[in-house]
Amino acid sequence: MSSRTRFRTPAVVLTALVTLIIGVLGIAPAQAAVNTNPNAQTWKVLVGNQTPDMAIQGMRFLPGEIWIHQTDSINFVSNSAEIHTVSYGTPPLPPTSIANLEADAFTPVGGPVFDPTAPWTNSGILAPPVPHAPFIQSYQLKFAAPGDFTFYCLIHGEMMNIVVHVMNKQATLPHKQAYYDWQASVQSGQIIADGLALEAKTLAKSSPTHIFVGAMDDQAMVMRFMPSPDAVRKGTTVTFDMSANQGVVPHTVTFTDLKQGGKLVDSGVLLPAFAGGPSTFNVTFDQTGIFHYLCEFHDDMGMVGQVIVTP
Ligand SMILES: [Cu+2]
């Protein structure tokens, strides 16, 4: 929780106060105040994006490349329900197990000023507020020295990266914030279109006995069971399949009202085969009814399904 407090700098409040005081005193917008600290700009970068129903999750920093002055700050703002980090240094690879995820991604490392000589800088988990979870909604980092630095998301790997070009104070920057905002909205649309195409492609490959558990390419994830709802005859075996995920993501198939052998049917954690699996889960429906299941990691994004079993 300390990280959450630490990165919530009072800069915005101070700026508001200064504006208010200037307003009260009737002083013209003070150039002098600007000149005393000409590089105190805070840039905004969105982390991830999503459709309103959360089915499509984008895995990009928006923008993915930014030019700032030294002593500027970047405020990385969570923009999706999927969790992300802002990370620099080693370990450079996405975690392949839940244990690694907790050890590396969840632990904030570093102070409010970026230190490129430190072995490892990490924001902790950026996500919407979740009760009792140590998630942060934004992460502000100040850049003291010039250089080119590539940050990435520890959860989604080096493909989700942002290159930060920190220029000296005299350099002319190529873009203003408005340009990055425009670029972010264009790219956000492209990522969502890609995710929707991936969902359609995955659905086209599916069948009543072959349900895909999510899908993922290099920039978008589909947080859905495809197809759902599904309908089969009693006695049918249905395979739940992780193979549409080209990146590491855990899902579960957890039934809430289908018991077999006295227990609710539950796949446990599924992973894509290249990440060690298990990547498939078979269920033989031996009773008629409507059975509901969910992914324990992503049900809050609407990753729930149902199977209708007829005689
Ligand atoms: Cu899931």
Q: Which domains does the chain have, with CATH numbers?
A: 2-176 (2.60.40.420), 206-310 (2.60.40.420)
Q: Which residues of the chain have pLDDT under 50?
A: 1-36, 92
Question: What local confidence, expressed as pLDDT, does residue 24 receive?
Answer: 31
Which residue carries 């996500």 as its tokens?
Answer: 127
Which residue carries 């975690």 as its tokens?
Answer: 95
Centre of ligand 1 from the C-alpha of residue 246, in Å:
14
Centre of ligand 1 from the C-alpha of residue 223, in Å:
6
Question: What local confidence, expressed as pLDDT, does residue 80 receive?
Answer: 96
Centre of ligand 1 from the C-alpha of residue 307, in Å:
17
Taking the model in full, what pTM does it have? 0.82
Centre of ligand 1 from the C-alpha of residue 214, in Å:
7
- C-alpha 296/C-alpha 225 separation (Å) is 13
Centre of ligand 1 from the C-alpha of residue 161, in Å:
23
Question: What local confidence, expressed as pLDDT, does residue 29 receive?
Answer: 37
The amino acid at residue 32 is A
Centre of ligand 1 from the C-alpha of residue 15, in Å:
41
Digit-coded pLDDT (tens) for 198-227: 999 999 999 999 999 999 999 999 999 999
Q: Which of 184, 190, 197, 142 is nearest to 166 (CA)?
A: 142
Centre of ligand 1 from the C-alpha of residue 250, in Å:
6
Centre of ligand 1 from the C-alpha of residue 183, in Å:
29
At 257, list the tokens. Answer: 């009202």
Question: What local confidence, expressed as pLDDT, does residue 36 receive?
Answer: 41
Residue 281 neighbours by CB under 8 Å, 6+ apart: 213, 239, 240, 253, 267, 270
Question: What local confidence, expressed as pLDDT, does residue 155 receive?
Answer: 85
Question: What local confidence, expressed as pLDDT, does residue 102 receive?
Answer: 65
Ion ligand 1 neighbours, Cβ < 5 Å = 251, 295, 297-298, 303
Contact 158, 248 (CB under 8 A): no
Question: What local confidence, expressed as pLDDT, does residue 33 receive?
Answer: 36
